[in-house]
Amino acid sequence: MAKKRSPYLLVKVIFAVVCLFLFLKYAAPKVFQVLMAKEHLMPTPSTLMMWYMIMGVLAGLVYATTSNQKFADFLGFLLPEKGAMVKSFIRKMLFFAFPVIIGWFVYTWSIPGAASPVELRIQHPTLPQEFEKMENPFRNTDAETQRKCIEEGKILFQTNCRPCHGSKADGNGPFANSFRLRPINFQDPGTIATVVDNYLFWRIKEGGPGLPSEATPWDSAMPAWKDDLKDDEVWKIIMGEYDTAGVMPRQREKTE
Amino acid sequence: MIKEFKCCLFGFGLIGVSVGFFGLSSEVSAQASHLFRTYKHEVPQKLPETQEAVAAGKKVYEKRCWYCHGIEGRGDGPASKTMFPKPRNFTRNEYKVRSTTFGSVPTDEDLFRIVTSGIEGTAMPFWYTISETERWQVLYYVKTFNEQFKTETSPKVVSVVSVVSTPDSVQRGAELFKEFKCFECHGDDARGNGPLTVALQTEWGMPYRARDLTKAWNFKGGNAGEDIYRTISTGFNETPMGSYLEKMSDEDRWHVAHYVKSLAKDMMSDVVVKVKLVEGEELPTEPSDEAWNKATPMELPLAGQILVSPRQWTQSIDAIRVRALYNSNDIAFLLEWDDSTNKQEDVFRDAVSVQFPTKIPESLKKPYFAMGDSSGAVNLWSWKAYWKEGFGAIVEAPETEPGTVSELNAKGVKNITVQPPESQNVTGKGVYQNGRWKVVFKRSLQTEDAKNDLQFEIGKLIPIAFAIWDGSNSDVAGLKSVSSWYYVILEKPVPKTVFIYVLFAIIMGASIEVWFIARLRRFPPKLEEEQE
């Protein structure tokens, strides 16, 4: 087997690592925005980035040590060689860059930063007991009554909920951009489609202030509608909301 | 040697590509960061306008549109009461975004574009989420509300070609903006505060507002140069924004469009307000002080207060700009927002307030962002524009009158207390100039009333929120524009020791490198074949 020498192996490995960094930092947010059909970029979380970079560097080293010859080439690049102008230039650049990069890392770690804090929250806290037993009085009525309830609910939804949750229940109302905790997109299959009617009843009645502290009630702009909307109106809104969003509530499991 | 050269060239090429990509991706992120959705110009193959299409359109309309536009298309649907601008009344020809001459009906393509893209700064959403067929059908149905569509079958279309903006063109546009008296409605600084717009406000069936041309996120029918040119050329039907097709040459309309485009700015939003340290200097107390330029401005969006009744569904102020400075004793904020008038009426006064928790939170837990709650109190700094005693009169806040500043505490909207006079530590003043309020607040970093006043600490993230009242929009008490919780941080100066660390790290790095290379030279890696 003819041995192929690759005198630039070191440069190639470094280049691959840099490419990985550029991809994670600049291309991945855009790629995931398109893949997940979001309206905003999806930046790679910094811890994930760190792990990927560590793995990238290790992969490069593993590759460079797969054979003795590769390893010799890998390190051999750093040895002086007569007459190789380009090689010598790159080598000098590397010698210069290494301490500078280390210095830069130390600088960015030690300057006082003002990064925005991590605000973790649970989006779907457990439904409180008192709402568990409730039942939507209009769900099991005849088709004509249901149709009327949905229509009445849609009118109420469009009047009261639309400014934030949007005409299409897609979380894109005119006020949506102005709240840091964006209004929920009900068309998203991970939201109201995964819960029962009662859950929405609780959320509409008690709003942000009624959330448990793990769901950061202080940041939620969901009003507590208990003073402004009657129970019947809330049940109708729920029906209108599911209809507008084009999803169905989760069905209760039959336990008998 | 040739191979090496090739390889190297390839490498540089790749670096070039990645740098290019880097530039591209940063541009993409800049576009995505603003709230504006582009006005989509492309229109697909038209659907034939048949009776069946109209009938199908009626179904779509009565499923999706009537809640705002009304069952008879009069713009009076049940949801219209919680919106301003009001939904379009389809029985009148008040179509704004058109490619046709002033007073004409829009083309089908114009209607298609609006249905597809929606209208920024209004409640009209984008409907590209429904099929093209449905969009054509519904617009054919909408056309049946107005007879003019039948009599005027082929309205004259103003064609728009793209013209590149140059500094000279922008300059000429600025001159034309004055010559053609655009400022009479849009204002000298184009903040929608011209004297005519204010004077004519009640003369129309509905109030209208001249566009604040500095807010790029509120342009109806797109904020690209071509869109602005189209609006200048065709005008907005049934509004004082007339057509300049006859009055201005084609070239001049492009100049004005380029000028307007140069004024339109995106919202520079962020999460943390960074407060700059100015050592050994007094903090500015005048809103127009040059010293404010040292601070980095941050803009943030505001929504109507919809949390508790009475709710403000139709807020008029949608953004606030914040800058802040501190020294060893004090902290000062400059708050700026565009308001088309400084008119005050009775209790309806222009005002602003800044909200902090009374204590810097130790954990994630904060007081409720709208005026706190029983478990978390907030500290409010409030400024109100001047109001002369009297009832029912409308006055303009004079520029010389600084307004009133007060310090309050709240534990929920129903539990608000003004601090006693001896605890009032905040000073400040407001100035109204060319359609913009500028208000300064100043307080010492620490106060004696540590129970009710926030005590500032350097380098800590402190929650901050804002509220603005617009007197001319009948804002008072709960009727206001509000923001979510943001953060403010008093920036730590970079300590000198950092540079010592960096120097040390560089020396360490270089030493390891030299040692490694020296070792490598002494014991070069050898392959077995080479040893033979």
| pLDDT tens-digit map of B93-123 | 889 999 999 999 999 999 999 999 999 889 9
The per-residue pLDDT for range A166-205, each reduced to its tens digit, is 999 999 999 999 999 999 999 999 999 999 999 999 999 9
Q: What residue segments make up the domains of chain B, in order of their start?
A: 51-151, 167-263, 272-490, 497-531
> Which of the four pLDDT bands, split at 50, 70 and 90, describes residue B24?
very low
| Residue-number span of the structural domain to which A60 is assigned | 9-79
Task: Name the residue among A102, A115, A174 with its Cβ closest to that of B505.
Answer: A102
B386, amino acid identity: Y
Measure the CA–CA gap between B375 and A220, rounded to whole angstroms: 16
For B155, the token pair is: 């309205």
> Residue B389: what pLDDT?
58
A114 with B67: Cβ contact below 8 A: no
For B190, the token pair is: 């184009």
Query: Do A69 and A155 lie in a common domain?
Result: no
Q: Are A90 and A11 in contact (CB under 8 A)?
A: yes
> Residue B23: what pLDDT?
36
Spell out which residues of chain B touch residue A112, defining contact as CB-CB under 8 Å.
Answer: 459, 491-492, 494-495
Spell out which residues of chain A touch residue B521, defining contact as CB-CB under 8 Å.
Answer: 79-80
Distance from B296 to chain A by nearest Cα, in Å? 13
| Residue B376 forms contact with A (CB below 8 Å) | yes
CATH fold of B51-151, please? Cytochrome Bc1 Complex; Chain D, domain 2 (1.10.760)
Task: Select from B297, B336, B338, B300 the least CA-distant residue to B316.
Answer: B338
Distance of CA A175 to the CA centre of its chain: 21
> Residue B344: what pLDDT?
79
Q: Is residue A84 part of a domain?
A: no
Spell out which residues of chain A touch residue B510, defining contact as CB-CB under 8 Å.
Answer: 98-99
Measure the CA–CA gap between B440 and B402, rounded to whole angstroms: 10
Q: Are B120 and B36 in contact (CB under 8 A)?
A: yes
> Residue A221: what pLDDT?
95
Q: Are B74 and B92 in contact (CB under 8 A)?
A: no
Would strands B404-410 and B272-277 be described as parallel, antiparallel, or unpaired? Answer: unpaired
Would strands B298-301 and B319-326 be described as parallel, antiparallel, or unpaired? Answer: antiparallel
CA B307 vs CA A1, B199, B271: distances in Å: 76, 33, 22
Q: Are B435 and B192 in contact (CB under 8 A)?
A: yes
Q: Are B218 and B212 in contact (CB under 8 A)?
A: yes
CA B374 vs CA B234, B370, B413: distances in Å: 55, 12, 10
Spell out which residues of chain A touch residue B505, defining contact as CB-CB under 8 Å.
Answer: 99, 102-103, 105-106
A218 with B365: Cβ contact below 8 A: yes
> Residue B475: what pLDDT?
87
CATH fold of B167-263, please? Cytochrome Bc1 Complex; Chain D, domain 2 (1.10.760)
A158 with B78: Cβ contact below 8 A: yes
Distance from A251 to chain B by nearest Cα, in Å? 26
For A213, the token pair is: 């502290």
Q: Is residue A26 part of a domain?
A: yes
Measure the CA–CA gap between B306 and A162, rounded to whole angstroms: 11
Q: What is the DSSP string of chain A?
A: -PPPP-TTHHHHHHHHHHHHHHIIIIIHHHHHHHHTT-SS--PPPHHHHHHHHHHHHHHHHHHHTSSHHHHHHHHHTTS--TT-HHHHHHHHHHHHHHHHHHHHHHHHHHSPP-PPPP----SSPPPPHHHHT---TTTTS-HHHHHHHHHHHHHHIIIIIHHHH-TTSSS--TTGGG-SSPPP-TTSTTTGGGS-HHHHHHHHHHTGGGS-GGG-GGG-----GGGTS-HHHHHHHHHHHHHHHT--PPPPPP--
Spell out which residues of chain B touch residue A218, defining contact as CB-CB under 8 Å.
Answer: 365-369, 373, 376, 485
Q: Which residues partner with B269 through β-bridges?
A: B299
Measure the CA–CA gap between B445 and B330, rounded to whole angstroms: 5
Torsion angle of the four alpha carbons A9, A15, A20, A24, in this order, in degrees rounded to the nearest 10: 170
pLDDT of residue B259 exceeding 60, the answer is: yes
Query: Do A155 and A239 lie in a common domain?
Result: yes
pLDDT of residue A87 exceeding 90, the answer is: no
| Residue B366 forms contact with A (CB below 8 Å) | yes
Spell out which residues of chain A touch residue B484, defining contact as CB-CB under 8 Å.
Answer: 178-181, 219, 221
A15 with B484: Cβ contact below 8 A: no
Any residues with CB less than 8 A from the CB of B46 and at least 6 apart, and which? Answer: B108, B109, B136
Spell out which residues of chain B touch residue A15, defining contact as CB-CB under 8 Å.
Answer: 11, 14-15
Question: Closest chain B residue to A38 measured between Cα atoms?
Answer: B32
Query: Do A141 and A221 lie in a common domain?
Result: yes
pLDDT of residue A239 exceeding 90, the answer is: yes
Any residues with CB less than 8 A from the CB of B368 and at least 6 apart, and which? Answer: A208, A209, A217, A218, B376, B412
Q: What is the mean pLDDT of chain B?
A: 86
Please compute the mean of the pLDDT values over residues B415-427 and round it to a whole number. Answer: 93
pLDDT of residue A208 exceeding 50, the answer is: yes
Spell out which residues of chain B touch residue A209, defining contact as CB-CB under 8 Å.
Answer: 368, 373
CB atoms within 10 A of CB A97: 12
B487 with A75: Cβ contact below 8 A: no
| Residue B416 forms contact with A (CB below 8 Å) | no
Query: Do A61 and A146 lie in a common domain?
Result: no
CA B387 vs CA B3, B127, B347, B395, B424: distances in Å: 82, 45, 8, 8, 20
> Which of the four pLDDT bands, split at 50, 70 and 90, describes residue B4?
very low
Q: Is residue A195 part of a domain?
A: yes
Q: What is the DSSP string of B337-379?
A: EE-S--EEETTB--EEEEEEESS--SSS----TTT-BTTB-EE
The 3-class secondary structure across B400-426, one letter per residue, is CCCCEEEEEEECCCCCEEECCHHHCCC
Task: Select from B65, B466, B18, B82 the least CA-distant residue to A22.
Answer: B18
Report which of residues B38 and B340 the model is more confident about. Answer: B340
Measure the CA–CA gap between B382 and B467, rounded to whole angstroms: 9
H or E segment and range at residue B330:
strand B330-338
Please compute the mean of the pLDDT values over residues A99-127 and round it to a whole number. Answer: 82
> Residue B343: what pLDDT?
80
| Residue B485 forms contact with A (CB below 8 Å) | yes
Measure the CA–CA gap between B241 and B185, rounded to whole angstroms: 9
Which chain B residues in 98-157 lie under 8 Å from chain A, judged by CB atoms? 121-123, 125, 129
Query: Do A233 and A153 lie in a common domain?
Result: yes
Please compute the mean of the pLDDT values over residues B274-279 and round it to a whole number. Answer: 92
Question: Closest chain A residue to B22 measured between Cα atoms?
Answer: A26
Query: Do A133 and A193 lie in a common domain?
Result: yes
For A16, the token pair is: 């691959």
Q: Are B513 and A98 in contact (CB under 8 A)?
A: yes
H or E segment and range at residue B487:
strand B486-490
B82 with A162: Cβ contact below 8 A: yes
Q: Is residue A71 part of a domain?
A: yes
> Residue B399: what pLDDT?
67
Interface test with B, best of A18, A68, A101, A159 (most B CBs within 10 A): A159
Question: Closest chain B residue to A94 measured between Cα atoms?
Answer: B513
Distance of CA B340 to the CA centre of its chain: 15
Q: Could you tell me what percent of chain B has a pLDDT over 90?
A: 64
Q: Are A127 and A199 in contact (CB under 8 A)?
A: yes
Least confident of B113-127, B292-306, B394-408, B495-509: B394-408
H or E segment and range at residue B462:
strand B462-469
Which chain B residues in 16-55 lie under 8 Å from chain A, judged by CB atoms? 18, 21-22, 25-26, 28-29, 32-33, 35
H or E segment and range at residue B303:
strand B303-304
Number of folded domains that form chain A:
2
In angstroms and rounded to an integer, the radius of gyration of the C-alpha atoms of chain A is: 29
Report which of residues B366 and B17 the model is more confident about. Answer: B366
Decide whether B51-151 matches B167-263 in CATH topology.
yes
For residues B488-503, b (16+ Cβ closer than 10 Å) or e, as one string?
bbbbeeeeeeeeeebe
Please compute the mean of the pLDDT values over residues B182-199 and round it to a whole number. Answer: 85
Least confident of A11-20, A168-177, B9-18, B244-253: B9-18
Measure the CA–CA gap between B126 and B114, rounded to whole angstroms: 8
Give chain A's length.
256
> Which of the four pLDDT bands, split at 50, 70 and 90, describes residue B205?
low
> Residue B401: what pLDDT?
72
Domain with residue A135: its CATH number is 1.10.760.10
> Residue B436: what pLDDT?
93
Distance from B80 to chain A by nearest Cα, in Å? 7
Q: Are B106 and B100 in contact (CB under 8 A)?
A: yes
Q: Is residue A231 part of a domain?
A: yes
pLDDT of residue A237 exceeding 90, the answer is: yes
| Residue B84 forms contact with A (CB below 8 Å) | no
Would strands B319-326 and B351-357 be described as parallel, antiparallel, or unpaired? Answer: unpaired
Query: Do A137 and A236 lie in a common domain?
Result: yes
> Residue B37: what pLDDT?
66
Report which of residues A181 and B400 the model is more confident about. Answer: A181
In angstroms and rounded to an integer, the radius of gyration of the C-alpha atoms of chain B is: 29
Long-range contact set of residues B373-377: C-beta below 8 Å, sequence gap at least 24? B373/A209, B373/A218, B373/B411, B373/B412, B374/B411, B374/B412, B374/B415, B376/A218, B376/B411, B377/B409, B377/B410, B377/B411, B377/B452
Q: Are B271 and B487 in contact (CB under 8 A)?
A: yes
Q: Could you tell me what percent of chain A has a pLDDT over 70?
A: 95
Coil/strand/helix, residue B440:
strand
Q: Is residue A115 part of a domain?
A: no
Spell out which residues of chain B touch residue A151, defining contact as CB-CB under 8 Å.
Answer: none
Among A55, A79, A103, where does a domain finish?
A79
Handedness of CA A142, B63, B150, B42 (dihedral sign): negative
For B326, the token pair is: 């501190």
Least confident of B392-396, B452-456, B469-473: B392-396
> Which of the four pLDDT bands, split at 50, 70 and 90, describes residue A3?
low
Question: Closest chain B residue to A107 measured between Cα atoms?
Answer: B502
Question: Closest chain A residue to B308 measured between Cα atoms?
Answer: A223
> Residue A35: what pLDDT?
85
Coil/strand/helix, residue B101:
coil
Q: Is residue A40 part of a domain?
A: yes
CATH 2.60.40.1190, domain B272-490, yes or no: yes
> Residue A212: what pLDDT?
93
B272 with A114: Cβ contact below 8 A: yes
Query: Do A157 and A222 lie in a common domain?
Result: yes
pLDDT of residue A157 exceeding 90, the answer is: yes
CA B211 vs CA A132, B124, B197, B240: distances in Å: 50, 17, 10, 11
H or E segment and range at residue B444:
strand B436-444
pLDDT of residue B482 exceeding 60, the answer is: yes
> Which of the four pLDDT bands, split at 50, 70 and 90, describes residue B22?
very low
Cis-peptide, bond into residue B310, ω within 30° of zero: yes
Task: Name the residue among B8, B79, B304 with its Cβ closest to that of A175.
Answer: B304
A85-110 helix and B497-522 helix, angle to the nearest 10 degrees:
150
| Residue B274 forms contact with A (CB below 8 Å) | yes
